[in-house]
């Protein structure tokens, strides 16, 4: 049985963590099976102590609330004036308000709707096992999650308040298959991940789904040299589907592959970069962002003395790379986001730390922040206020815990959460921003003898 809980998660100090990287060795069998589709019903404010232009560690408690007021009076004098009722933003905590700091800034402890920053609004956990690796939200507020359970790919649709409305399961031939990312239009959902087509191989999978998860069309890419998979998908303004993932090459390593399809699934172009990681690694990036009409892919290169971060920019119309930018330090880039200013933000892991980089469009460093304490950053998004939301994981009291943080555009920490399921390893992989800058987080929390797929909403 699935359950949805409306409790809030307390904010507790972070613990310094060691590097944790998700690595899966592919054990593959025969091609993808059919699809089973079912429907159902409801299942800090503080100034940073570090210069954001340099790395540093800061923990902020975002539970500040505004002053309380006493509405009682000893006077018996009557009045004919009409009571306007509670007014959010007047600096007084009135009936129905959690807080009121008198401003319209989200993330500073008390949000502009008088709800405390970082409060958990709702939570979904499936006791059937599995994990969600991706989350996306449609214009009408409908939420979609993709992941894996029972080794197969899993797709689910939720209402805006977290009620499970429909799901679809795509059985595996015997090896792990995952939906790793989703992109949504008012008519369709585009999903990427992997399918197992041959023993010891996984193939890159892209599909168009309807809102119930039925497959409209699908494309499978097999390099012929080893495992391939799709990590990221994005939609261009001119009707293209961009996929970024990994593709094996002849020397038993895996490079980065970037492909463009039209909305009917026809391949328009495909480009590959130098090998980056071994074939036994899975889901370590790449990141993908659309910036100024271009496609930017973030990855890591395998060189003699480490794994420097690497950004490759393509025209959305295809062709050889427009530019390449190599970081000076080792970094596994897991996610990218493009700021409206043109800057690029990346999330990943550097020297056993959860690190965010901000760079100009031409690759010049702006700032680096490790203020969100943890070992590995997995996803990054930008909200309507320009704030940066990041998620990943790090060492906690019960093995590994989820880390969720919000930063200012300048890289200062607004607030941070350590999310502990209380049993074992808890991991988060994906973010989305819903209406009102509500933060959606997808991952897996350890339950009774298994990991449970997890989706939650948090106040900004």
Per-residue pLDDT of the chain (460 residues; tens, 9 = 90+): 333 333 333 333 333 333 333 333 333 233 334 444 444 434 333 333 333 333 333 333 333 333 333 444 343 434 344 455 568 988 888 888 889 888 888 888 898 889 888 999 999 999 888 999 999 999 999 999 999 999 999 999 999 999 999 999 999 987 899 999 999 999 999 999 999 976 557 899 999 999 999 999 999 999 988 889 999 999 999 999 999 999 988 777 788 999 999 999 999 999 998 666 665 555 567 999 999 889 999 988 777 777 788 899 999 999 999 998 888 778 889 999 999 999 999 998 887 789 999 999 887 899 999 999 999 999 999 999 999 999 999 998 878 999 999 999 999 999 999 999 888 899 999 999 999 999 999 999 998 889 999 999 999 9
Between the alpha carbon of residue 386 and those of residues 60, 104, 340, 389, 460, the distances in Å are 19, 14, 9, 10, 12
3-state helix, strand, coil in the chain (%, to 5): 0, 50, 50
The two three-digit tokens of residue 422, written as one number:
């209380």
Give 377-401 pLDDT, tens digit per residue. 999 999 999 999 999 999 988 789 9
- DSSP-derived 3-state class of residue 51: coil
Res 307: pLDDT: 77
Distance (Å, rounded) from C-alpha 332 to C-alpha 327? 11
The two three-digit tokens of residue 2, written as one number:
């699935």
Between the alpha carbon of residue 256 and those of residues 231, 243, 253, 375, 440, the distances in Å are 10, 11, 10, 23, 28
> Residue 395 — φ and ψ, nearest 5°?
-65, 135
> Residue 111 — φ and ψ, nearest 5°?
-80, 175
Distance (Å, rounded) from C-alpha 41 to C-alpha 1? 11
Other CB atoms closer than 10 Å to residue 408's CB: what's the count? 17
Could you tell me the fold of the domain covering 2-61+107-458? Methylamine Dehydrogenase; Chain H (2.130.10)
Distance (Å, rounded) from C-alpha 113 to C-alpha 244? 37
| pTM of the complete model | 0.81
> Residue 436 — φ and ψ, nearest 5°?
75, 15
Locate the DSSP E strands across 279-412.
Answer: 287-291, 294-300, 308-315, 323-330, 332-338, 344-350, 353-359, 365-369, 376-382, 388-396, 399-407
Helices (H), 37-152: none
Locate the DSSP E strands across 26-184.
Answer: 36-39, 120-126, 131-137, 143-149, 152-158, 164-170, 179-184
Cβ atoms 209, 189 nearer than 8 A: yes
> Residue 270 — φ and ψ, nearest 5°?
-150, 130
- Of 100, 96, 102, which is closest to residue 68 (Cα–Cα)? 100
Cβ atoms 189, 167 nearer than 8 A: no
The two three-digit tokens of residue 201, written as one number:
């191989």
End-to-end, the C-alpha distance of the chain in Å comes to 29
Res 355: pLDDT: 92
Distance (Å, rounded) from C-alpha 323 to C-alpha 41? 48
The two three-digit tokens of residue 287, written as one number:
């990141």
């Amino acid at each position: 049985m699935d359950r949805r809980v409306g409790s809030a998660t307390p904010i507790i100090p972070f613990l310094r963590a060691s590097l944790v990287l998700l690595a899966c060795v592919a054990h593959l069998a025969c091609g993808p099976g059919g699809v089973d589709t079912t429907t159902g019903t409801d299942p800090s404010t503080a100034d940073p102590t570090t210069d954001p232009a340099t790395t540093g560690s800061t923990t902020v408690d975002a539970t500040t609330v505004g002053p309380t007021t006493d509405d009682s009076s000893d006077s018996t004098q009557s009045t004919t004036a009409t009571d306007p009722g509670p007014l959010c933003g007047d600096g007084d905590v009135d009936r129905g308000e959690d807080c009121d700091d008198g401003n319209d800034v989200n993330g500073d402890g008390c949000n502009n709707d008088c709800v405390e920053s970082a409060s958990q609004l709702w939570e979904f956990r499936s006791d059937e096992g599995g994990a969600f690796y991706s989350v996306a939200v449609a214009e009408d507020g409908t939420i979609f999650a993709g992941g894996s359970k029972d080794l197969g790919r899993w797709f689910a649709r939720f209402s805006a308040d977290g009620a499970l409305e429909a799901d679809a399961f795509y059985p595996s031939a015997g090896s792990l298959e995952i939906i790793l990312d989703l992109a949504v239009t008012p008519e369709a959902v585009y999903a990427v991940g992997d399918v197992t087509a041959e023993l010891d191989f996984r193939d890159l999978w892209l599909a168009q789904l309807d809102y119930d998860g039925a497959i409209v069309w699908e494309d499978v890419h097999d390099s012929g040299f080893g495992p391939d998979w799709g990590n990221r998908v994005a939609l261009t303004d001119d009707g293209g589907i961009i996929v970024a993932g990994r593709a094996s090459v002849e020397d038993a390593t895996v490079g980065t592959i970037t492909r463009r399809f039209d909305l009917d699934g026809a391949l328009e172009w495909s480009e590959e970069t130098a090998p980056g990681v071994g074939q036994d690694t899975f889901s370590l990036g790449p990141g993908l962002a659309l910036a100024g009409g271009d496609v930017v892919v973030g990855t890591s290169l395998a060189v003699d003395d480490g794994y420097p971060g690497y950004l490759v920019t393509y025209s959305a119309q295809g062709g050889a790379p427009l530019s390449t930018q190599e970081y000076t330090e080792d970094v596994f880039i897991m996610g990218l986001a493009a700021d409206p200013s043109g800057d690029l933000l990346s999330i990943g892991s550097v020297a056993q730390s959860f690190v965010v980089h901000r760079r100009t469009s031409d690759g010049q460093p702006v700032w680096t922040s490790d203020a969100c304490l943890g070992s590995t950053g997995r996803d990054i998004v930008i909200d309507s206020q320009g704030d940066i939301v990041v998620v990943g994981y790090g060492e906690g009291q019960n093995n590994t815990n989820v880390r969720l943080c919000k930063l200012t555009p300048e890289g200062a920490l607004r607030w941070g959460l350590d999310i502990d399921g209380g049993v074992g390893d808890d991991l988060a992989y994906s973010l989305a921003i819903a209406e009102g800058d509500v933060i959606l987080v997808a991952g897996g929390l350890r339950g009774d003898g298994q990991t449970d797929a997890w989706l939650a909403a948090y106040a900004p």
